[in-house]
Structure 1
Amino acid sequence: MASSDATEKVNKKQQLKLYNYFRSTSSCRVRIALNLKGIDYEYKVVNLLKGEQLSPEYLEINPMGYVPALVDGDITIADSLAIIMYLEEKYPQRPLLPGDLAIKAVNFQVASIVSSGIQPLHNLSVLKYIGEKVSPDEKLPWVQTHIRKGFSALEKLLSNHAGKYATGDEVYLADIFLAPQIDGAIKRFSVDMAEFPLLSRLNAAYKELSAFQDAMPERQPDTPVEGI
């Protein structure tokens, strides 16, 4: 029994720790990647609404005060793309990038559009600033404008590449970034997806994948009982 207890302690110490928040689309990307690769991890809650991302303890993990952050033993990575690329290198099972160089570049481009051109513009800190400096009534129009701009670009980019999923008939990095962004656009920001038929079709395909759905906000341990 003692040996078993010791093994359990070692395994727990070695287990990846993901600091994240249920509704964070950046966190959701990493959860999808971990699910696809079949990697167990410890779910560490950072409640953004309570300001826990700005606590001294969390700022030691990520000085930017953002989620997610991944701790793997002595290694800490804070940024969803950096985390996913780290996982891709360390756990080569179930590749998240295609072998074809051109298609790989499209996957990186999609990830960049989402992570640089859409998601940061509806961070809580940005919306708080707009609400205080402009008007609370301008927050939703701001978000919808920038999501539509990004989605329009993605529709055009993927029109020549999409199959069942974003860049063919296999799930790759682009899908990992798209799924949480589309889900959040619909559920949180009431974006009308009628003008984005390709993204809507992809969203329907993601709903059939357990690795994706198990990572969605409504299925996380810190999801409020009253819902999202």
Structure 2
Amino acid sequence: MSDIVLHNYYRSSTSYRVRIALEMKGLTYDYVPHHLRHGEHLEPAYLAVNPQGLVPALIWSDGTLLTQSLAIIEFLDETRPEPPLLPKDALGRARVRMLAQMIACDIHPVNNLRVLTSLRTLFGAGDEDVVNWFRHWVNEGFQPLEKILASSPETGKFCHGDTPGLADICLAAQVTNNARFGVDMTPYPVIERIHAACMALPAFEKAAPENQIDAE
């Protein structure tokens, strides 16, 4: 038993982000799965933990509830500073947050499970419509992201320099999720290169969806 508890779902990209950060920080935690497609995140027992009914939710060692993956990751970085997930300089931190938010704020919110489900239930979208919706918004976000990464001297082996950080965590989780929807990554060679570098690291691999206890 650990004094840190992570409520999550193996295929949730936001949960994947937090798992990567926990692994990078070398923190042990109890893994509590909630099957989103079965509606387990909406059961009273979980809503008593997280009234928002979303994953991930982290219960810290003192019992404090933390939600929202970027907030959780920055908390981990502030309280467990090694290895750092943000640069030391203010401009570098702003750039990394910018890259992370291009994914976390502009791509993920319109492509998460509850949005895709609503497309079906409220608007009668079929499977092909949902896949096309997902691909469209990924491409809308990845086209400028690729240009920024390709043109910036700050880009190295990873999104910012040669060590992985917050932006790489978001990028890796999104690219992994893209594969389920058959997103063509050919137009994004820099993103693909960074993703490959991330997945060569033990923390990213151990946290990957297919390696979780609830993987199907």
Same fold (TM > 0.5): yes
Matched, 1:91 2:91: no
Give 1:205's aligned amino acid: A
Matched, 1:135 2:125: yes
Match of 1:57 in 2: 45
Give 2:129's aligned amino acid: E
Give 1:103's aligned amino acid: G
- How many correspondences in the alignment? 211
Q: For residue 74 of structure 1, report the CA deviation from its aligned partner.
A: 2.0
Match of 1:34 in 2: 22
CA-based RMSD of the aligned residues comes to 1.2
Matched, 1:210 2:199: no
CA–CA separation in structure 1 for the residues paired with 2:213 and 2:46: 19
Identity of aligned residues (%): 41
Give 1:165's aligned amino acid: F
Note the alpha carbon deviations across 1:24-69, whole angstroms, 9 max, x for none: 0000000000010100000011110110111112112222211000
Helix, strand or coil at the partner of 1:61: coil
**Residues 1-80 of structure 1 aligned to structure 2 (within 5 Å):** 12=1, 15-72=3-60, 73-80=62-69
Give 2:73's aligned amino acid: I
CA–CA separation in structure 2 for the residues paired with 1:84 and 1:47: 22
Matched, 1:163 2:156: yes
Match of 1:102 in 2: 91
Of 66-75 and 131-140, deviating more is 131-140
1:185 paired residue among 152, 171, 178: 178
CA–CA separation in structure 2 for the residues paired with 1:135 and 1:222: 28
Match of 2:136 in 1: 145
Higher-Rg member (1/2): 1
Runs of 4+ in structure 1 deviating by more than 4 angstroms, as ranges, are: none
CA–CA separation in structure 2 for the residues paired with 1:170 and 1:203: 13
CA–CA separation in structure 2 for the residues paired with 1:21 and 1:153: 29
Give 1:171's aligned amino acid: P
Q: Which runs of 5 or more residues in structure 1 are unaligned?
A: 1-11
Return the TM-score normalized by structure 2.
Answer: 0.94
CA–CA separation in structure 2 for the residues paired with 1:59 and 1:153: 37
Q: For residue 96 of structure 1, report the CA deviation from its aligned partner.
A: 0.9
